[in-house]
Structure 1
Amino acid sequence: MGGEADHIHALFESHPSVELSKLVNNIKTVTSRRLRAEYSQHLSQFYWGDKPQFWSSSYAIISVGAQAPLDKLIEYVQNQEKPE
């Protein structure tokens, strides 16, 4: 896992039958709930609008293959900054 101030990079293995859009949604939902429960006072200063959001609705998924070999993806993720 790696990231920058406004996003993260996560490398994971998944069974081919897993719907990746649902997996990403689940990860965002669970992490948002847990972080809000544990750090709600600190996070509240960063929210805006009537319905505060922890995550953006966007995401990108890159699969391993000829154009993106596993060793290159591992290197890419490892070279990202660590989330604060």
Structure 2
Amino acid sequence: MPSSRRPHALVWTAQRVEAWRQTGQRPSVAVWTTEQTATFLSFVAADWLVVMWWLIALHGLRRGEAAGLRWAYVDLDAGVAMIEQ
């Protein structure tokens, strides 16, 4: 099969957010600004999955990697998580 082009990631600027609200259409790949990320992390601060949200937002963990993370691969004392799946 021919390789496809990867979509270009776009930042969720105020203009893009407003266009999305008006049309319902969004970029196929969009990333949050620092302020948007901070707002999200503040909102989920009491969530029992807050550590997972931090790993995804601040360390680039993908959803599948976060879902596959096992406690056996996490060392809280050393601050290390080994991504195996």
Q: Say whether the fold is shared (TM-score over 0.5).
A: no
More helix by share: 2
Q: Report the TM-score when normalising by structure 1.
A: 0.26
Q: Which has the larger radius of gyration?
A: 2
Q: Which has the higher contact order (CA 8 A, sep 6+)?
A: 1
